[in-house]
Amino acid sequence: CATPQYIGGEPAASMFERVGRFAVSADIPGEPQQAAQGGFAWQDAGKVLKVDLATPMGATLARVQVQPGHARLTPAEGDEIHAATADALLEQVLGSPVPVAQLRYWLRGQLGPEPAQEVKLDEQKRPESFRQEGWSVVLSRYDTQGPRLLRLSRQEAGRQISVRLVVDASQP
Amino acid sequence: QDAAAQLRHFIENVSAASGEFHQKSADRAPQEGRFAFQRPGKFRWETTHPHEQLIVSDGTTVRQYDPDLAQVTERPANTSLGSSPAAILFGSGRLEDAFTLAALPDDDGLQWLRATPRQADAGFQYLDIGLRKQQPVRLLLRDAFDKTTYIELGGMTLNPSLDDSQFTLQVPADADIVQLR
C-alpha cells in the first residue's frame, strides 16, 4: 500500500504530528517583557523530535531537532545552537523556558513520567488540569489525537512565564 | 511587459488595494483571508480560515493578534518590514534597494520574477511573484529550509479609500499585550 507521505522523515510507527501556533511570554517586573509568537510544526517520531517554528506568512524561522541527550536549533540565518536538552535550548533562544520534554506527553493528552499534583480529569478521563515539573497546565479542546489548546504557566524567581499552544483545526 | 516592469508599475500606480488571499504550504492546512495595504507601510493581513489571526501595521507598529492565544504582540514596523515578503507588495521606495530581481519564464499565463533579498538575514531564500495585467496574482515563498508557501491573491480592488481603522487593532480585554524583542 502507498506509504503515507511524511514531511521529510521516513515513516515511523508512532509518528505524532501536530501543526499550530504558539505564544511564549515571560514578564519580569521592571524589565521589558520577552516574548515570541509564531507557527509550529511538531513531529515526534519517538527517538527524534523535530519542531519547525515559522512566521504567519509561512517562512520557517528555526528548526529544533531533539535526540536523547542532544538538542540542536538551526536558525534560518546564522549558526546552529546546541544544548543537552531542548528546554535549555529554547530558554537560550526565546529567553524563557519551554517544557519541550513534557510537551511530548502533554500534546498527546498524557501526563509526563514525573509525579503530577492536583490532577483533574475531564468526563472522558483525559487530563484537564494539573501541576507537573513546576508548570501549571490546562489542556482543552481535545480531538482524537490530544488537546488542541494547551495553556502552561510558571512562577519562577519573580518571573511569570506563560506558554500557549493552539493546534490548527483541520490537519492537511 | 515583463514581470519587473509590471511590478514597478504596480508599486508606482497602486498606492492602496484590498483583496483576498489563499495560502498553502506542505505542512499546514490551507489558510485564507483578506488583505489590504496603503503605501507606505500600512497593511492588514487577516487570516479567517481555518483559524483567526490578524496582522496590521499602521506604518509605525506592527501588531499581531491571535484570539486563540489571546495575545497581541507589537514590534516596530521599520525593523520588521525591511526585506520581508510583505515589503515587496506593501512597501514603497525602490524595490531594488532590498532585493535583486531576476526574470523567470512565463508560466500558467503569468509573467514571473524572482526577488532575492540582498540582506543576508532576511530569513527566506527568495519570493517568486507571478503577475498579470500589472497585478501580483501568485506568490511562491521559498524559506531557508527549502519549504515552499504558495499565496494566491484575488478579488483585488485598486486604490480604494481605506479607513485608518483597517490598519489598527483594538486590543480585546482578555488579551495581553507583549512587545517583541
- A3, pLDDT greater than 80: no
The predicted pLDDT at position A29 comes to 76
- A153, pLDDT greater than 70: yes
The predicted pLDDT at position A143 comes to 94
pLDDT tens by residue, A92-117: 877 778 899 999 999 999 999 999 99
pLDDT tens by residue, B83-138: 577 777 777 767 788 889 999 999 999 999 999 988 877 788 999 999 999 999 99
| Residues A59, B180: C-beta atoms closer than 8 Å | no
- B81, pLDDT greater than 60: no
| Residues B145, A60: C-beta atoms closer than 8 Å | yes
Band of residue A139 on the pLDDT scale cut at 50, 70, 90: very high
The predicted pLDDT at position B20 comes to 97
Q: Which conformational region is residue A95 in: left (phi greater than 0), alpha (psi within -120 to 50 degrees), or beta?
A: left
Nearest beta carbon to residue A41 from set B27, B51, B176: B27
The predicted pLDDT at position A9 comes to 52
Q: How far is the alpha carbon of B13 from chain A, nearest alpha carbon, in Å?
A: 25
Q: What percent of chain A has pLDDT over 90?
A: 60
**Amino acid at site A146:** G
What 3-state class would DSSP assign to B170? coil
Strands B71-76, B99-107: pairing kind: unpaired
List of chain B residues whose C-beta atoms are within 8 Å of the C-beta of residue A21: 51, 53, 66, 68-69
User: CB of B58 within 8 A of CB of B65?
Assistant: no
Residue B34 C-alpha cell reads as 483578506
The predicted pLDDT at position B32 comes to 95
Nearest beta carbon to residue A60 from set B51, B73, B147: B147
pTM: 0.85
List of chain A residues whose C-beta atoms are within 8 Å of the C-beta of residue B71: 23, 25, 35, 37, 164
| Residues A77, B25: C-beta atoms closer than 8 Å | no
Q: How far is the alpha carbon of B3 from chain A, nearest alpha carbon, in Å?
A: 22
Using the structure block, give the residue that is written with the C-alpha cell 516592469: B5
**Distant-in-sequence, close-in-space partners of B170: CB < 8 Å, separation ≥ 6:** none
φ/ψ of B123, rounded to 5, equals: 90, 0
Query: Rounded mean pLDDT of B69-77?
Result: 86
List of chain A residues whose C-beta atoms are within 8 Å of the C-beta of residue B53: 21, 56
Residue B149 C-alpha cell reads as 508557501
